[in-house]
Structure 1
Amino acid sequence: MTTLALTGSPLWYASRASGTLALVLLTATVVLGITSGGRAAPRRIGRFELGVLHRNLSLLTLVFLAVHVVTAVLDPFVHLGWAVSVVPFGAAYRPLWLGLGTAALDLLLAVLITSALRLRMGVRRWKAVHWLAYAAWPLALFHGAGTGTDTRVPLQLWLYAGCLALVVGAVWWRLAKAGPGRVTGRLVAAVAAVAVPVVLTAFLATGPLQPGWAQRAATTTVLLGGGR
């Protein structure tokens, strides 16, 4: 059984814990959004209550994301700057995987800002931006799997698998409940529900679960980031 040695700093553990909790909360938010929208909305629970729960989960996700970002930047091991938290793919440390997390954060911030301006934007424009939250979820999942040094820990793998199963299951359930129309949207959702598990499984099998992943990621850092 793989174990994780307790060799990191308190900031490192705080960053990993807050990032994991943010992923779990984002998964819950996405699943709730998928299963409670359109004709799939449950009849025993009012839309107002679902909306309040959805909003509170979203805000809690952003709180843990803020903790995740702050602790990661303050951690002296990786030497990240504050600009990395908002500018994707600019880090010298694992730029691709950190960039995916930054992109996910930017998408969620866009949803937050536009939600505050919802009355001025109009419902149609706000909904168009709101769909970005669904795009943020796979970015966050691959960010955690690619960046996390604890990805090989069985408990962490089961957590990723659980998040993946919940979202994919929610998508297929929503597709089964969907009525006629919006063929393009349903086709995109079906393709994504198939592609994300396949790509993630292939990535884990050939990347983080293989020996020497940290060294290969460091080599990628030198090539892409230009660091020593």
Structure 2
Amino acid sequence: MAESRVPRWMVPTLCVVAPVTLGLAATGPGAVFAAHAQLFLLTYSGVFALVAMSLTVMIGLTATDRSLLTIRYRVLAQAGHRTTSTVGMTFLVAHLMVKILAGHASAADAVVFGLGPIGLGAMAFDLFLIVLLSGVTRFWFAAGTRPGLWRGLHALSYLAWPVAIMHGLTAGRQAAPWVVWGYVLCLVFVGLALLNRAVLVVRPIVPVREGEPEPSPTPVRTRRKSKAEQR
């Protein structure tokens, strides 16, 4: 049975870092630093979360490309995919927490989705949370009798990501031009990654394996020997 992807040191580290951080925030300089950090996260955490999630989608699509990447680089791409997803969820949780602490939203607004700007953000969070939980528990699906269920749950990221972009463009204050251009670039690059994936699905290419030469684009046809040559 496959092992869990969650590092064993993560929970003990959080148990130590959380109380130390709260203790430092109780001091005068710590309180000032916490106020500046909260203001920074209030302004940019949503943008960083969306950029990280965009990279997660792009790297995830790249990691499935068996035609150009060898096993070694696919493993590296999968590691990058997990790293950017963790960073994205961290900024997303921070985004929700600072919005609630600042009084811009309630705790229910973070999970109760709808068609409004805030409701779209809650919908994106719920979908990303399902994707995260499916990724953490992937070994359970692989060991079970329905491994295809994991692909269906993980594919919800393709729905959560554009919903998050719609939330970012419609909720709160008017987005700065560089933010809008950043969202546009995310749409372009993810679209190209999806197009590349669709082409590979329609026209599959022979995978490149470690230590093997790349296959020739045009197979060499051997000439049949005549009966005289065979004699």
- Over residues 5-64 of structure 1, what are the superposed CA-to-partner deviations in whole Å (9 max), with x where a residue is unaligned? xxxx96565223000000100010011112221545523743222211111111111000
Which one of the candidate residues 103, 123, 128 is aligned to 1:103? Answer: 123
Aligned counterparts, 1:34-183, within 5 A: 34-40=61-67, 42-43=69-70, 45-76=72-103, 78=104, 80-89=105-114, 96-122=116-142, 123-151=147-175, 153-180=176-203
Could you tell which deviates more after superposition, 158-167 or 24-33? 158-167
Distance across 2 between alignment mates of 1:13 and 1:53: 25
Q: What amino acid is aligned across from residue 191 of structure 2 in structure 1?
A: V
Alignment check: 8 A CA contact 2:61 2:193 kept: yes
Q: What amino acid is aligned across from residue 86 of structure 2 in structure 1?
A: L
- Over residues 185-217 of structure 1, what are the superposed CA-to-partner deviations in whole Å (9 max), with x where a residue is unaligned? xxxxxxxxxxxxxxxxxxxxxxxxxxxxxxxxx
Alignment check: 8 A CA contact 1:40 1:178 kept: no
Give the SS at the match of 1:149: coil
CA RMSD of aligned residues (A): 2.3
What is the identity percentage for the equivalent residue pairs of Structure 1 and Structure 2? 30
- Over residues 84-143 of structure 1, what are the superposed CA-to-partner deviations in whole Å (9 max), with x where a residue is unaligned? 111113xxxxx6111111111111111222223223233321111100112111000000
Q: What amino acid is aligned across from residue 102 of structure 1 in structure 2?
A: A
Q: What amino acid is aligned across from residue 97 of structure 1 in structure 2?
A: P
Distance across 1 between alignment mates of 2:162 and 2:45: 17
1:219 equivalent in structure 2: none
Give the SS at the match of 1:48: helix
Aligned counterparts, 1:5-20, within 5 A: 11=38, 13-20=40-47
Matched, 1:23 2:50: yes
Distance across 1 between alignment mates of 2:60 and 2:137: 20
Give the SS at the match of 1:178: helix
2:16 equivalent in structure 1: none
TM-score (norm 1): 0.65
Distance across 2 between alignment mates of 1:135 and 1:174: 16
The total of aligned residue pairs comes to 165
Give the SS at the match of 1:46: helix
The structure-2 alpha-carbon separation of the partners of 1:40 and 1:108, relative to structure 1 and needing over 3 Å to count, comes to: farther
Structure with the largest fraction of helix: 1
Q: What amino acid is aligned across from residue 90 of structure 2 in structure 1?
A: V
